[in-house]
Chain A
Amino acid sequence: MRAIVAKMLVGGPPLVFLLVFFAAPSMIMVLSSFRFPGEFGGLAPLAAPEGGTGGDYGLTAEAYQFFFSDVIYVEIFLKSFGIAMATTLICLVMAYPLALLIARSEKRFRNLLVLLVVLPFASNFLIRIYAWMIILGPESGFSHFVNAILGVFGIAPVTLLFSPFAVLVGMVYVHLPFMVLPLYTNLEKHDPSLLDAAQDLGATTWQRFWRVTWPLSLPGIFSGSALVFIPVLGMFAVPDILGGTGDILIGNLIKDQFLGTRDWPFGSALSIMLTLAVLSVAGLSTWVARSAMRHGQ
């Protein structure tokens, strides 16, 4: 009896918190995606069925119909997924050697190196993105340098800022630590005697990496990828600041529905679609991860 009370005392508050601030808002979101937009934005009141209107209780699937009626929304979804995948991949390629380096460095340096990875968090995220505006701006040394190199190959100067390239740079920059940390945590736990054993049994440096280190790091790769992929998909600040007019992603679209056009039902429907898409990607990757680890080399 006392154990149950203790369990409730420990587990109760977070449970209540999640119910009130996560489950309930999610349900509200689902509900509002099926409502009519209000005359001046927001939501139209839920109406009791009036005599002649056929008893719709003020509910409609209009928002979803609207989503599928125009190919541009699906295109934005696909583009967002493309950016999220590219960001994840670039983060992985950049983070893996770094995480490996930290994990294989001397123990006393590791914490310092991890600290350096998370140090950018100490300054505000928006300020760091604005800094990239300057770095990628047309008068920056970096821009001049890039265009000078392009000039050597006879390519006309390009504008770096306000382009998909700038969005990608910003996304990778912001999310890189989220890939490094889980990878490092995984790689640091690897038993070094496994590499000795592999070498002893005839494996070259590359074989040791691909047959031992890489498959053992799959859990770290998957959790790092999830930590990058999912936030990138919903990110609106980076494309807002670094992207051009054509670089709208789902995040911007959703934000606009609530803050700009004030079409809450459509914004909610977009959010629900995004959630479903993320869940199916997460489910698929979990399944792939499980079977990869089961049949892993």
Chain B
Amino acid sequence: MALLEIREVTKRFGSYTAVDHVNISVQAGEFFTLLGPSGCGKTTLLRMIAGFDLPDSGQILLDGKDMVGTPPEKRPVHTVFQTYALFPHMTVAENIAFPLKMARKPSHEIKLQVGEALDNVRLSDFGHRLPHELSGGQKQRVAFARGLVNRPRLLLLDEPLGALDAKLREEMQIELINLQKNVGVTFVFVTHAQNEALALSHRIAVMNKGSVEQIDEPSKIYSSPRNRFVADFIGKISIMNATVLEAAPSHLKLDVAGLGHVTAAGNQGVRTGDRGVMAIRPEQVRISHPSTDLELKNHFHGKVHDFLYMGDVTTYIVELSNGIRIEALLPNSAPGRAKFFEAGDEVAVSWRHDAGIFLNE
């Protein structure tokens, strides 16, 4: 039985449907992420799991028990808020002790568990400090410790890393993965940052306009997005209109607008004559000098229109002879060289026969 079972949950605010017939089941011990742009309903869904909002229809089951009549303070679910929401008048230790006190644990047990929780987040020497005396990352760790100390069945995390700078965020991501592994509590994590979702999660639910578009492992979400929204939202991708000319189990033959015949990865749900888009990730596209002899099937000539130098890699935007633009990513691996091509250079782009994916409209 799944730990958390969301069945046909719908939530409306006036005429606006924030969450629309969502079905999700989360297994015990899982790191599950709700990913989507702002306004996709992920936070509303999280608030319904916590109990702050009630669904208009559908059910939320925890350990098989319907949570509808259970107020937030009675649910074995804790939340780590985006702004941390640490109690400013309590020390770090008092903050962490709060859920234990509310649960009327004996004081010697509280002391023991608070000490353990502080150790878990490497803040043993900070118990007597007040929240305003802590850095952003330390506050974040206190919020995690407070959410986990009472061993909830489920920990909800509402964009907890959003307020941290990039470097610290990466550190906290690693810390969060380890923390979840150590305590074994099931996490439901909400974020709009796709790289964060990919790095942290066991499974991801991609949400858009109140609906779930796809639930899968990170690598599946990235490599085989179910539709155009998922493909576009997760990572970079070049998208071109296409029609299926020939559908074989192993490969597809597509007619891509402006490119002509392209071979793409096989897809069982696709039939000859389907219209849709072909999508291809920049790192799958090879960029080379036009004179290079290329053995790859999908192979076109163009000109570097623009590029984005990002230090480790450079993304080249190549304009093909017929005006179609495609992105190619190249690691800047040669020592002493920042980039390989300049804007205006004649280049060739190519990709493996199964690198492109066809998505129905």
A interface residue numbers (CB < 8 A to B)? 191, 193-194, 196-204, 207, 211-212, 215-216, 293, 296-297
Is B309 part of the binding interface, using a Cβ–Cβ cutoff of 8 Å?
no
Contact A200 B79 (CB under 8 A): yes
Contact B89 A296 (CB under 8 A): yes
* Alpha-carbon separation in the docked complex, A202 to B72 (Å): 7
B52 contacts across to A, CB distance below 8 A:
196, 199-200
Is B99 part of the binding interface, using a Cβ–Cβ cutoff of 8 Å?
yes
Residue of A nearest to B147 (CB): A201
Contact A193 B81 (CB under 8 A): yes
Contact B87 A199 (CB under 8 A): no
Query: Given contacts A193-B83, A196-B52, is CB(A201)–CB(B89) below 8 Å?
Result: no
How many positions in chain B have a CB within 8 Å of any CB in the partner chain?
A: 26
- Residue of A197, A201, A293 most packed against chain B (CB within 10 A): A201
Contact B85 A204 (CB under 8 A): no
Residue of B nearest to A205 (CB): B73
Given A199-B52, A200-B77, A212-B87, 9 new contacts (CB under 8 A): A193-B83, A194-B85, A196-B85, A197-B86, A200-B50, A200-B79, A201-B98, A201-B99, A297-B89
CB pairs A–B below 8 angstroms (23 shown): A191-B83, A191-B85, A194-B88, A196-B52, A197-B79, A197-B81, A197-B85, A198-B98, A199-B52, A199-B71, A199-B73, A200-B50, A200-B51, A200-B78, A201-B99, A201-B146, A201-B150, A202-B103, A203-B73, A216-B89, A293-B89, A297-B90, A297-B94
Contact A201 B81 (CB under 8 A): no
Contact A200 B73 (CB under 8 A): yes
Residue of A nearest to B81 (CB): A193
B interface residue numbers (CB < 8 A to A)? 50-52, 71-74, 77-79, 81, 83, 85-90, 94, 98-99, 102-103, 146-147, 150
Query: Given contacts A193-B85, A293-B89, is CB(A202)–CB(B79) below 8 Å?
Result: no
Residue of B nearest to A202 (CB): B102
* Alpha-carbon separation in the docked complex, A196 to B99 (Å): 13
Contact A207 B102 (CB under 8 A): yes
* Alpha-carbon separation in the docked complex, A194 to B131 (Å): 13
* Alpha-carbon separation in the docked complex, A215 to B146 (Å): 20
* Alpha-carbon separation in the docked complex, A293 to B89 (Å): 7
Shortest Cβ gap from A169 to chain B (Å): 35
User: Nearest 6 pairs between A and B by C-beta?
Assistant: A202-B102, A197-B85, A201-B99, A193-B85, A296-B89, A200-B79
A198 contacts across to B, CB distance below 8 A:
87, 98
Shortest Cβ gap from A81 to chain B (Å): 30
- Residue of A191, A200, A296 most packed against chain B (CB within 10 A): A200
Residue of B nearest to A293 (CB): B89
* Alpha-carbon separation in the docked complex, A212 to B88 (Å): 9
A202 contacts across to B, CB distance below 8 A:
73-74, 99, 102-103, 150
Shortest Cβ gap from A110 to chain B (Å): 22
Contact A194 B87 (CB under 8 A): yes
Query: Given contacts A191-B85, A193-B85, A196-B81, is CB(A201)–CB(B90) below 8 Å?
Result: no
A203 contacts across to B, CB distance below 8 A:
73, 98, 102
Residue of B nearest to A215 (CB): B89
Contact B73 A204 (CB under 8 A): yes
Shortest Cβ gap from B187 to chain A (Å): 15
Contact A201 B88 (CB under 8 A): no
Residue of B nearest to A200 (CB): B79
* Alpha-carbon separation in the docked complex, A197 to B72 (Å): 10
* Alpha-carbon separation in the docked complex, A216 to B88 (Å): 8
Shortest Cβ gap from B131 to chain A (Å): 11
Residue of A nearest to B77 (CB): A200
- Residue of B83, B86, B99, B102 most packed against chain A (CB within 10 A): B102
B81 contacts across to A, CB distance below 8 A:
193, 196-197
* Alpha-carbon separation in the docked complex, A297 to B98 (Å): 10
Contact B83 A201 (CB under 8 A): no
B150 contacts across to A, CB distance below 8 A:
201-202
B83 contacts across to A, CB distance below 8 A:
191, 193
* Alpha-carbon separation in the docked complex, A199 to B51 (Å): 10
* Alpha-carbon separation in the docked complex, A181 to B90 (Å): 26
Q: Of B72, B90, B103, B146, which contacts A199 at CB under 8 A?
A: B72
Shortest Cβ gap from B241 to chain A (Å): 45
A191 contacts across to B, CB distance below 8 A:
83, 85
* Alpha-carbon separation in the docked complex, A194 to B81 (Å): 9
Residue of B nearest to A214 (CB): B89
* Alpha-carbon separation in the docked complex, A213 to B89 (Å): 10
Residue of B nearest to A204 (CB): B73
- Residue of B52, B83, B86, B98 most packed against chain A (CB within 10 A): B98
Shortest Cβ gap from A123 to chain B (Å): 40
Shortest Cβ gap from A207 to chain B (Å): 7
B103 contacts across to A, CB distance below 8 A:
202
A296 contacts across to B, CB distance below 8 A:
89-90
* Alpha-carbon separation in the docked complex, A207 to B103 (Å): 12
Residue of B nearest to A212 (CB): B87
* Alpha-carbon separation in the docked complex, A293 to B90 (Å): 9
B50 contacts across to A, CB distance below 8 A:
200
Shortest Cβ gap from A33 to chain B (Å): 43
Shortest Cβ gap from A192 to chain B (Å): 9
Shortest Cβ gap from B343 to chain A (Å): 48
Shortest Cβ gap from B157 to chain A (Å): 12
B88 contacts across to A, CB distance below 8 A:
194, 216
